[in-house]
Amino acid sequence: MSGPRLATLRNGSALPLAAVPDLPFEDLRDAVVRETAEGNRLVSFFASVPEPASPASSRAGGEVELLAVVADDEEGTLGVGRARLEGERFPSLTPACPQAHWFEREIAEQAGVVPAGHPWLKPIRFHSSWREGHDAWGRPALAHPVPGVTDFYRVEGEEVHEVAVGPVHAGVIEPGHFRFQCHGEEVFHLEISLGYQHRDVERALAGGPHKGTVPIVETIAGDTTVAHAWAYAEVVEALAGVAVPARAGAVRGVALELERLANHVGDLGALANDVGFLPTASFCGRIRGDFLNMTALLCGSRFGRGLIRPGGVGFALEPERAGRLAERLVAGRRDALEAIGLLWETASVTARFEGTGVVSPKDAEEIGLVGPAARACGIGRDVRHDHPHGIYRYVHLPVVTASTGDVAARAAVRAAEVERSADFVAEQLAALPETPARVPVGPLAADSLAVALVEGWRGEVCHVALTDGDGRFRRYKVTDPSFHNWFGLALALRGEEISNFPLCNKSFNLSYCGHDL
Amino acid sequence: MLDTLVQTLLHALVLALVPPLLPGIVNKTKAVFAGRTGPPVLQLYYDLAKLAEKGIVLSRTTTWVFWAGPLAGVVTALLAGLLVPLGTHRAPISFPGDFVLFAYLLALGRFFTAAAALDTGSAFEGMGAAREVSFSPLAEPALFFGFLAAARVSGSLSLSGLLTGAWTSGWFASGGALLLVLAAWFVVLLAETCRIPFDDPNTHLELTMIHEVMVLDHGGPLLGLVLYGSSVKLFVLGALVVRLALPVPSGGPLPAWLLFGAGMAALAIGIGVVESVMARLRLVRVPQLLVTACLLSALGTVLVMR
């Protein structure tokens, strides 16, 4: 290996910022392009803009800092590099490294700088730039951009027609806009435009930790509460140099896998519902509730809110409760596997799943898919295995993969994970370590960086924190797995029938608010 | 004379009032299969009453065609219902060749529904209309080959004679052929009334719908008419299948009506069972199933033509 080096660290650890090489932008670009070409992944790439101390300085601009985190899944290490931008433009990475596509659009929107040569430079969330007076598209400073108002890719032709779906849908789901270029029933191209759920989470987290930090983190994506809360806790623990007690680690593992169980089961039921197969749809709807109630038994919230706190967990899972949970788990596991089994036994269902919404392994690699969507393409990518942290350092969960990359593969991966996760939880409940559930957390290290990856049920949740001289968050970057995977859904629809869109969509089941932040 | 009048009146009443019961039975069956309580059997009546009280929102882009669609759907289905014998008597309207009128009354209703959908100018509704009109021509031959076979067996050219006669003289002589026709007609029934495996009447997914997507913009009383019209269509096509399958018992009108009612209930339960145990077809496979139905029906015709 030659060329500029990135600083290396492990998942869930911190590094003084001084140890992160401050590279010229070209070197950072070369390093990221080289690493991704070697098979490593871009897990986070973002801009940190100088805090406006006064309106005058904000108008003056100041230097924008770019920071990239690259994961080496084989070695289990993370590489970090940063660069200060001079001026308002930088040469785009996307042509050489498609994984940067969405990240660079985000950088352009947040920092108001232009990745020159980006092939598809449009806003992704439709908010005004964080640096007043600097806008990548030269939009007026005070006008709030309207989500979905942009130039959409269009296919011209006599027999081509355009179908626009959303942001208001016929079902009670999150808002998002989908633009299909169709030829009869065949989809030539799908463009996804989001941003309707933008709450400015990242800026609300900057300046923390404060009273609002944990509630905000827990609601980044409601169905991924545990994974986000865990990632946040790990970032804080790394910065404070705290080791989490073993019992807390086990309870976190139990909660994360229960979250995975509830969502996988619910989504498999929803897949059945989308093809009009009633038995699995209605059984899974009920069983999802059973798993959510197990999380409620753990901490009083069906979504695991209030459970994970920096330094440990808020609820210790005492033996009597663990026993009840184990009992319920046995019933839930049995019912879930039975209901899911019906899917594979019904020919009319498998006929709908197989060959629908195929993503090729090459595309999946190039755009950096994560989670079950990647594993369904035969890519054995799983944070619990590649970058083990917490309980996963001691208990190994086998990585489930499938090879066909279609709806059937995504469903099969998730079905198998239901079994594995249930077994994992049962194993943990049988032998909970006897330690305190929580330890106090001291002040955070100043001028440092911490990275935490957690394998949520949708895939890799990544939190990166930069602290200032007082140990407060100067920049807090959240990357939900949906951020990586939305483009995968667009690719899955190429050449597919438009009537299969809901099925493909459900097989990914990505988060709108997790993406929009 | 008085008897005929009473029977005709009864026919009209049953045709007008009973249809909303059928979707209720279908949904109850599905609920039982899914282990749920499900909506009450009379739910559609409640829905219709509720919708009748609501106001109508009309898009500025629409014209009279938009509200004529649901209206035509109801009127054509009711008229078609007057051609099908229900109890012991002949249908209120009956003449040789009336089955052609029957088929094209339904087609006329479909034409207006599709026209109303196109009238909105929405991409969804245009898509639904395109699907509906590309699938329905495939269902038509299945219906007509069945009529041919039944006409040949019964020696009658009117729906009343053809359906009644098919039983008395046909089932013993050419049961196999009629069984094929029955199977084909059941498939046509599922396709025409937008049930699984062709369409999912419960889905909220605009992009997968066939029939439902055409009526997305209808609300209030117009939506009520759409719902009522499709239940009448289900009733009328169901009556066709039931009358071909069941005999007219001797002993007067009462047993005949009871048997007919039982047959219709069984049919609704049958549809519910089909919807409970299988998934929807991929949209491109829909024509294949319809062509299969045509072939079944055609084979039935060939068998009786020998």
Q: Give pLDDT, residue A61.
A: 47
Contacts of B123 in chain A (CB under 8 A): 161-164
Predicted local distance difference test score (pLDDT) of residue B168: 66
Q: Given this model, what pLDDT does residue B50 score?
A: 95
Least confident of A233-237, A335-339, B193-197, B245-249: B245-249
Whether the CB of A170 is below 8 Å from some CB of chain B: the reply is yes
Q: How many CA atoms lie within 13 A of A180 on its CB side?
A: 27
Query: At residue B201, does pLDDT exceed 80?
Result: no
CA–CA separation, A459 and A454 (whole Å): 8
Q: What percent of chain B has pLDDT over 90?
A: 48
Residue numbers of A between 266 and 295 with CB closer than 8 Å to B:
272, 274-279, 281-283, 286
Beta carbons of B282 and A279 less than 8 Å apart: no
Which pair of tokens denotes residue A88? 């308002």
* pLDDT at residue A1, as a whole number: 47
Which residue of chain B has the CA closest to A498? B207
Do A20 and A80 meet the contact criterion of CB atoms below 8 Å apart?
Answer: yes
Inform me whether the C-beta atom of residue A346 falls under 8 Å from chain B C-beta atoms: yes
Q: Rg of the Cα trace of chain B? A: 19
Any CB–CB contact under 8 A between B276 and chain A? yes
The answer to whether B35 contacts A348, with C-beta atoms less than 8 Å apart, is no
Residue in A184, A282, A500 closest to B36 by CB: A282
The answer to whether the Cα torsion of B87, B93, B95, B97 is positive or negative is negative
The string over B198-207, giving b where at least 16 C-beta atoms fall within 10 Å of a residue's C-beta and e elsewhere, is: bbbbebbbbb
CB-based contacts of B37-46 (< 8 A; 24+ apart in sequence):
B44/B20, B44/B227, B44/B231, B45/B20, B45/B21
| Among the four given CATH numbers 1.10.10.10, 1.10.645.10, 3.40.190.10, 3.30.420.40, the one describing domain A201-516 | 1.10.645.10
Number of H helices, E strands in chain B: 11, 0
Please report residues of A whose CB lies closer than 8 A to that of B285. 351
B204 CB neighbours in chain A (<8 A) are 169-171
pLDDT band at B169 (very low <50, low <70, confident <90, very high): low
User: Would residue B20 count as lying in a domain?
Assistant: no
Tell me, what's the pLDDT at A56?
Answer: 43
Asked whether the beta carbons of residue B276 and residue A279 sit closer than 8 angstroms, the reply is: yes
Q: Which of B126, B206, B283 sits opposite A497 (nearest CB)?
A: B283
Q: What is the mean pLDDT of residues B231-251?
A: 87
Angstrom distance (rounded) from CA B228 to CA B226: 5
What is the rounded CA–CA span in Å between residue A303 and residue A222?
A: 7
What single string gives the DSSP state of each residue in A154-193?
---STTEEEEEE-SS-SSS----EEEEEEETTEEEEEEEE
pLDDT at A497 over 70: yes
Least confident of A365-374, A379-388, B137-146, B249-258: B249-258
As a dihedral over the C-alpha atoms of residue A134, residue A139, residue A141, residue A143, rounded to 10 degrees, the angle is: -150
> Residue B17's pLDDT is what?
95
Measured from the Cβ of residue A442, the count of other Cβ atoms closer than 10 Å reads 12
Determine how β-strand A448-455 pairs with β-strand A460-467. Answer: antiparallel
CB contacts of A500 in chain B (<8 Å) are 208, 282-283
Cβ-nearest to B34 among A162, A278, A351: A278
Higher pLDDT, B32 or B201: B32
Residue of B nearest to A270 (CA): B203
Q: Per-residue pLDDT tens for A357-398? A: 899 999 998 898 999 999 999 998 999 999 999 889 888 888
Q: Which residue of B has its CA nearest to A279?
A: B34
How many CB pairs lie under 8 A apart between chains A and B?
90
Residue A356's CB is within 10 A of a number of other CB atoms, namely 20
Q: What is the DSSP letter of B278?
A: -
Q: Is A204 on the interface with B (CB under 8 A)?
A: no
Banded model confidence at residue A143, pLDDT cuts 50, 70, 90: confident
What is the DSSP secondary structure assignment for residue A73, as one 8-state letter? T
d(CA B94, nearest CA chain A) in Å: 39
Query: Is the pLDDT assigned to residue B234 strictly greater than 90?
Result: yes
The domain total for chain B is 1
DSSP annotation string for B140-205: HHHHHHHHHHHHHHHT--SHHHHHHHIIIIIHHHHHHHHHHHHHHHHHHHHHHTT-TTT--TT---
Q: What is the pLDDT of residue B121?
A: 84
Residues with Cβ within 8 Å of A367's Cβ and at least 6 positions away in sequence, in order, are A98, A99, A101, A484, A487, A488, A491
Confidence class for position A4, pLDDT limits 50, 70, 90: low
Q: What domain range includes position B219? A: 40-305
Select from A399, A409, A412, A500 the least CA-distant residue to A459: A399
A274 to B275: CB separation less than 8 angstroms, yes or no: no
Angle between helix axes B64-81 and B98-119 (nearest 10 degrees) is 160
| Spans of all domains in chain A | 7-116, 201-516
Would you say residue B10 lies in a domain? no
* pLDDT tens for each residue of A269-318: 999 988 888 888 889 989 999 999 999 998 889 999 989 999 888 888 88
| CB-based contact B34 A282, cutoff 8 Å | yes
pLDDT score at A54: 44
Residues of A in contact with B202 (CB under 8 A): 276
* pLDDT tens digits, B111-124: 999 999 999 888 88
Q: Point out the least confidently predicted range of A33-47, A356-370, B159-173.
A: B159-173
- Specify the pLDDT at position B166: 64
Over residues A461-487, mean pLDDT: 91
pLDDT band at A57 (very low <50, low <70, confident <90, very high): very low
Mean pLDDT of chain A: 88
Please determine, for residue A60, whether its predicted confidence score (pLDDT) is greater than 70: no
Contact list in A for residue B214 (CB cut-off 8 A) is: none
Which residue in A162, A274, A356 is closest to B123 by CB distance? A162
* Chain B residue at shortest CA distance from A161: B123
Whether the predicted pLDDT of A166 surpasses 80: no
Task: Summarize pLDDT for A305-350 with one digit per residue, the tens.
Answer: 989 999 888 888 888 888 999 999 999 999 999 999 988 988 888 9
- What span, in angstroms and rounded, lies between the C-alpha atoms of B147 and B130? 27
Give mean pLDDT, residues B76-86. Answer: 93
Please name the member of A184, A278, A286 whose beta carbon is closest to the beta carbon of B30. A278
Which candidate in B120, B195, B205, B286 is best for mutational testing of the A interface (most A CBs within 10 A)?
B205
Which pLDDT value is given to residue B248? 76
* Nearest chain B alpha carbon to A185: B127
- What mean pLDDT, rounded, does chain B reach? 88
Amino acid at B56: I
- Answer whether B35 sits within 8 Å of A282, measured CB to CB: yes
CA dihedral (B244, B268, B190, B21) positive or negative: positive
Output DSSP code: residue A393: G
State residue A331's pLDDT score.
Answer: 92
* pLDDT-based confidence at residue A3 (cuts at 50, 70, 90): low
Q: Is A335 near chain B, with CB under 8 Å?
A: no
- The CATH fold assigned to A7-116 is Beta Polymerase; domain 2 (3.30.460)
Q: Running DSSP on this structure, what letter comes out for residue A4?
A: P
The angle at the Cα of A516, spanning A99 to A85, to the nearest 5 degrees, equals 55
Question: Is residue A351 within 8 angstroms of chain B, CB to CB?
Answer: yes
